[in-house]
Amino acid sequence: MNKRFRNLAKGLSLTSMLFVFQACYGSPQDMDPDVHISGIVLSDTTENPISNIKVKLINKDSGMIQNQQTDENGEFSIYTGASNSYELNFADVDSTENNVYIEKDTIISNVGENVYLKISLEKQ
Amino acid sequence: MFKSLKQTAFNKFKNIETNFHELNYLFWECTTRCNLNCLHCGSDCSKDSSFDDMPLDDFLKSLDTIETQKDIITVVITGGEPLVRKDLEQCGREIRKRGMRWAMVSNGQLYDEKRHNSLINAGLGALTISLDGLEKSHNWLRNSTTNFERVGKAISLATSYPRLNFDIVTCVNNKNIDELPEILEYLLSKNVKTWRLFTIVPIGRAVDNPELFLSDKQFTKMLDFISTTRKQKLIDVKFSCEGYVGDYELKVRDTFFFCRAGINIGSILIDGSISACPNIDRSFSQGNIYKDNFFEVWQSKFQMFRDRSWTKVGKCANCSEYKNCQGNGLHYWTAEKDGVMVCHNEKII
């Protein structure tokens, strides 16, 4: 009932953005929907997690690129804008010992709010 | 006449919102350490804060008491300067795990490319950075020789990622009031879409510096600038929701004035105090997370924020605009509750 009253008042006041307010010294709170893409990178021979793999995520709708290194558990976790599809690239670069593993590309599409990927990399 | 009807409808809406008392916006004062020493700081923050940073687990325990829908809540991380915390990304991820979005207010000094990427990856949804003038006046207020340049770089990074809802806030004062057109040009050149202007509250370190406050003529000039610039539609510029501005309502922002402190806005402060906005007098705190259940306090207390009849004293007592203003922003009240510190409407000439 309260919600119906709120919506009625919103209409009557003829002003927009009533519910997406901003505290006077705060940040905006209207944010675009996003997607959480996370996962683990493993060695295909030992199945051990691989740290320091560069994960490059390309949002195919916006073209925006985000990067992250896998952590000590071989895991990555990226929040990104909603898109019809994403391209992910896994490369063994920017570490102390590079190019031990062969680079890999993956495309994912029609994802929900959360995606968890298990990526296996082959040794060179 | 039409505006008056809209104001009446809006006042009804305010009553409904006040009674509904839904938590939508939660400030977390995660640190009071700061890498700057700004002349106007309302929190009197410094490099060597007397408080330790609040442990993330303590904050999360409070979040976990919230029994309502989570996706209607935005956590706004503030300080001090949040970026001095090394675990900020982890803080953000834990907030996201609980179904809430998060945002941050920063002075931009430490906002470099590496931090930008890691914050975005951790689900930062909105960012507010302070720019208080052109180089000379900004660095004067920020008490820094480098901050203007750093802020410029931070703005470039933030605007390069359109998914980030980003805005600039400017404390308008004696030194920058005449620069507003040039600041606008600068922001447009940096592709900034949203700009919020506010004045400086006579609290904290600002009290002793009269140069920080606008004269009535300057205040009106600022409102005129906002009103004129809004018509040009080059940028979404507005006066912050810090106070009631009479005839300028709807000319300087999208909605009528509504101080939502303690109505939809709560905060967890550095010492665990549960309050509304962090700049509100600390004596108005309603509880403490170290001895109270946060959400129980939110639901059962905050009466003084929802019933503001106690503000009808001093110059507010017989004011004809009281029903639209209700005592101005609550951060303009001190513990004595003996009168509002600043009446914006009175300053308009």
- pLDDT reported for residue B42: 62
> Which residue in the block uniquely carries the two structure tokens 């410094």?
B46
- Amino acid found at B251: K
- pLDDT reported for residue A16: 46
Decide the pairing of beta strands B124-130 and B165-172. Answer: parallel
Q: Divide the 124 residues of chain A into consecutive groups of 10 and give the mean pLDDT of each group.
A: 61 56 82 93 95 96 94 96 95 80 95 92 92
> What ipTM is given for this predicted complex?
0.90
Query: Going by C-beta distance under 8 Å and a sequence separation of 6 or more, which residues neighbour residue B11?
Result: B323, B324
Q: Give the largest CA-CA distance in chain A.
A: 67
* Nearest Cβ partner for A30 among B6, B27, B165: B165
Cα B257 to Cα A57, A89, B66, B247: the distances in Å are 42, 49, 28, 11
Q: Which residues of B touch A12 (CB under 8 A)?
A: 9, 12-13
The percent of residues in chain A predicted with pLDDT above 90, rounded, is 61
Q: Around B303, how many Cα atoms within 13 Å sit in the side-chain half-sphere?
A: 3
Collect the ranges in chain B with pLDDT lower than 50: none
- pLDDT reported for residue A8: 64
* Nearest Cβ partner for B13 among A10, A22, A28: A10
* DSSP per-residue codes, B47-108: SS-SSPPPPHHHHHHHHTT--S-STT-EEEEESS-GGG-TTHHHHHHHHHHTT-EEEEEE-S
* Structural tokens at position B16: 């409904």
State the count of interchain CB pairs (< 8 A) between A and B. Answer: 145
* Structural tokens at position B102: 């998060």
Contact B127, A27 (CB under 8 A): yes
* Nearest Cβ partner for B255 among A15, A28, A32: A15
Is it true that the peptide bond before B314 is cis, omega within 30 degrees of 0? no
| DSSP code of residue B233 | T
Choose among B273, B266, B269: nearest CA to B291: B273
Cα separation, B263 vs A98, in Å, equals: 55
Strand ranges of the sheet holding B101-106, from the earlier edge strand across to the other edge = B236-239, B194-199, B165-172, B124-130, B101-106, B74-78, B25-29, B265-268, B273-275, B287-288
| DSSP code of residue A76 | E
Alpha-carbon gap: B291 to the closest alpha carbon of chain A (Å): 27
- 3-state SS assignment for residue A121: strand
* Structural tokens at position B305: 């924020």
* Structural tokens at position B199: 């004045």
- pLDDT reported for residue A7: 62
Cα separation, B241 vs B260, in Å, equals: 9
All structural domains of chain A, each given as residue ranges with its CATH number in brackets, are 34-121 (2.60.40.10)
B228-286 per-position pLDDT tens digit: 999 999 999 999 999 999 999 999 999 999 999 999 999 999 999 999 999 999 999 99
Selected residue of B15, B121, B253, B259 to mutate for chain A interface (largest A Cβ count, 10 A): B121
- pLDDT reported for residue A102: 95
Cα separation, B146 vs B12, in Å, equals: 48
- pLDDT reported for residue B239: 97
- How many angstroms separate the first and last alpha carbons of chain A? 64
- pLDDT reported for residue B259: 96
Asked if A22's CB is within 8 angstroms of B163's CB, the reply is no
Helix axis angle for B113-121 and B88-97, nearest 10°, is 20
